[in-house]
Amino acid sequence: MKETQVYPSLLSADFGNLQKEIEMINASEADSLHLDVMDGVFVPNITFGAPILQMVSKHITKPMDVHLMIVDPDKFIEGTKEFGIDLMTVHYEACTHIHRTLQKIKAAGMRAGVALNPGTPVCMLRDIIEMIDVVLLMSVNPGFGGQKFIPHSLNKVRELKKMIEESGSHALIEIDGGVNYETGQQLIDAGADILVAGSFVFGSKNPYETIHNLKKLTPAQ
């Protein structure tokens, strides 16, 4: 049986103790570190950009998963390709030429991800699904941590899973927003491969144990 992958989101970490938080991730069972880049235009919040990603890349020993919530993400790809980023995800809604953008990400040596907002249907990916490594389904409206999970996301996971299987694509399904043990189990049952969790991991008493328990979620028989 395939293992659930867990990508903690740095957004909910203590930015006053960033090195300590990164060391926690390094010592944990997390599969990757999820990094949310926000520009205050595509989403109503600003986080960090290339200098912070470069700094994090020097300390993190896990792969980096960069979630770009910015307009015109093409501009960002070239300048970050030296940071050893494993997966770069752009929003479908932010790309006029998504096919070209995915080619650029791959040419820069990274896995390519496409994120969908809660209001964007899964069928928009039909003609590009074979070139996508990871589909990131947003289960909250992007911009902030700690929001409530949108239950309709479960239908989207099931529909996407079907599309992936029918097309023969190797894409993995990653979910971002409102993930906890309860929604995590529902998502894994629906067919998700990767769980992003921000406030649930960094806000917990024992983040190591929370990551461990999320990784142990397997589809109910």
Structure tokens at 24: 């926690």
Site membership for ligand DX5, residue 87 (CB under 6 A): no
Partner that binds at residue 179, options Zn ion, ligand DX5, none, CB closer than 5 to 8 Å by kind: ligand DX5
Which of these, 43, 38, 12, 44, lies nearest to 25 by C-alpha position?
12
Applying CB under 6 A, among 197, 211, 214, 217 the residue interacting with ligand DX5 is: 197
Q: How far is the CB of 138 from ligand DX5 (least distance, A)?
A: 7
Binding test (CB under 5 A) with Zn ion, winner from 176, 183, 210, 217: 176
Residue 90 tokens, joined = 């752009």
Query: From CA 201, how far away is CA 199, in angstroms rounded?
Result: 5
- Rounded Cα distance between 102 and 128, Å, is 9
Q: Build a one-symbol-per-residue string for 95-134: x at contacts with Zn ion by CB under 5 A, - elsewhere.
A: ----------------------------------------
x/- site string to ligand DX5, residues 95 to 124, per CB under 6 A?
------------------------------
In angstroms, rounded to a whole number, what is the distance separating the alpha carbons of residues 171 and 196? 16
Q: Using the rule CB under 5 A, is 174 a contact of Zn ion?
A: no
- Give the catalytic positions in this structure: 36, 176
Phi and psi at residue 72, to the nearest 5°: 50, 55
The two three-digit tokens of residue 47, written as one number: 């986080």
